[in-house]
Amino acid sequence: MKRDILPIGSPELREVAPRVTDIHDPVIIAEAAALEEAIRTFRVQHGFGRAIAAPQIGIGKRMIGLALREWPAVIVNPEIVWTSDERITLWDDCMCFPDMLVRVERFASITLRFMDLDGRTHLRERLSRAEAELMQHEIDHLDGMLSFDRAVGRNPFVHRSVFEDNRAAFAREVDYFPQPM
């Protein structure tokens, strides 16, 4: 079941995704497979992408597809159960607007509770900055928020081509850099 990534401005990106109640439902299994396919396809086309939230492909469910080692391919009903006091700024990118980056502020670390597709509950404590910022970004999608909603500082938006041409300068503008892209 191939689904395209919704572009910025799509109304579905502003909806709050409800919790998944039955992970064994065949519809959920099919939608999880669609998430896995979407992230693989995007990575081939654009060369970046570590995760995708279900609403980004028009699936209104609290699920995230991941392309991270040592993580399940799909996590269900993720929730942040702890946040660090420290906050960081970084350049955030998104599959819904792959040609732009947005300077945002996020917690430096979080603890995340979620389920896998086998029904097991996991607790990942004090995530690294790379994992923490990623999960916060994806959970924002589940809550109908976009990076643009969290933009901070002067001139917080940059086209990817300008960013790539001036990486060192843009690195000096944030606390956390580089992030995997």
Copy the structure tokens of residue 179: 């992030």
Q: How far is CA 174 from the centre of its chain?
A: 19
Instruction: Confirm if 74 and 35 have CB atoms less than 8 A apart.
Output: yes
* Residue 138 designated active-site: yes
Side chain identity, residue 122? H
Neighbours of 50 (CB within 10 A): 22
Contact 54, 95 (CB under 8 A): no
Catalytic residue among 31, 131, 133, 138: 138
d(CA 81, CA 152): 24
Active site residues: 138
